[in-house]
Structures are given as C-alpha cells and as structure tokens.
Amino acid sequence: MALKKEELSSDEWELVIGDQFRALRIRADLEQTELAALASISVGALKNLEGGKGSSLKTIIKVSRVLGRTDWLNALAPKVSVSPMQLLKGQRKDVVRQKVSRPRKTRTEQERLHPC
C-alpha cells in the first residue's frame, strides 16, 4: 500500500519532488548540463535536486521557471487574505487594559460625605 502524501517524511518528499523534476527535464528533452546552464545553477545542484539529496529554494525556483512550472511555486505560496474581523480580533489582543485610578479620599472628605 502506498503512503499518502500527507504521511511522507521530509526525505521522502525530496525524492518525490526530485523525481518530478527529472521527469519534466526528460520530457523537455534536456540533458542535466543544458538545464543547469539555462537555470544558471551548477550541475551538482541539479543532480542533488533530482536525486532528492537536498536543494535550496533558490535552485527549486530557478529550475521551476525554466521548466515552465511556476504553478508549483504558486501552490506553495498562495495569496493569503485576512478578513476584517480577524484584524479586529488581533488588535484587541494587543491592547492592554488599564485600570482607572482615582485619588484616595482624605479623611476629612470621607467625614464630610458620610457624617456619623
């Protein structure tokens, strides 16, 4: 039984993504040296990406652009909108309530207000 993508480890994700990039490169009929030159990255960086051995975000962005898959990048970073109600709730948490302080009444004022 195959693992669901939600259950993949980071290392497994790197392999899956690397396989996808390799398949796209082969479909585009490009050698690793050609793609690396077009993306302005080293062949070693491309080999690491395709082999699932770790890659920088910059490498992923450059290769995605050359292979015409910037939609992948958009899926990683969709535009996030915030509702006005969420903004108000966030502002309320930041405000520290302060107590109103009144000066203490002197003894003579207390006697004047409450004669016994």
Tens of pLDDT along 1-17? 455 777 889 999 999 99
Q: Which two tokens stand for residue 55?
A: 């890659």
User: Does the pLDDT of residue 91 top 90, yes or no?
Assistant: no
Q: For residue 114, is it within any domain?
A: no
Give residue 116's pLDDT.
59
Q: For residue 89, is it within any domain?
A: no
Q: For residue 14, is it within any domain?
A: yes
Q: Which pLDDT tens digit goes with each residue over 12-61?
A: 999 999 999 999 999 999 999 999 999 999 999 999 999 999 899 999 99
Give residue 95's pLDDT.
55
User: Does the pLDDT of residue 75 top 60, yes or no?
Assistant: yes
Q: For residue 71, is it within any domain?
A: yes
Q: For residue 63, is it within any domain?
A: yes
Q: For residue 57, is it within any domain?
A: yes
Q: For residue 3, is it within any domain?
A: no
Give residue 58's pLDDT.
95
Task: Indicate the number of domains in the chain.
Answer: 1
Question: Which range of residues forms the domain containing residue 46?
Answer: 8-76
Average of pLDDT values for 60-76? 92
What CATH number does residue 25 fall under?
Answer: 1.10.260.40
Average of pLDDT values for 95-101? 66
Question: Between residues 69 and 108, which one has the greater pLDDT?
Answer: 69
Q: For residue 81, is it within any domain?
A: no
Query: Which pTM does this prediction carry?
Result: 0.64
Give residue 88's pLDDT.
74
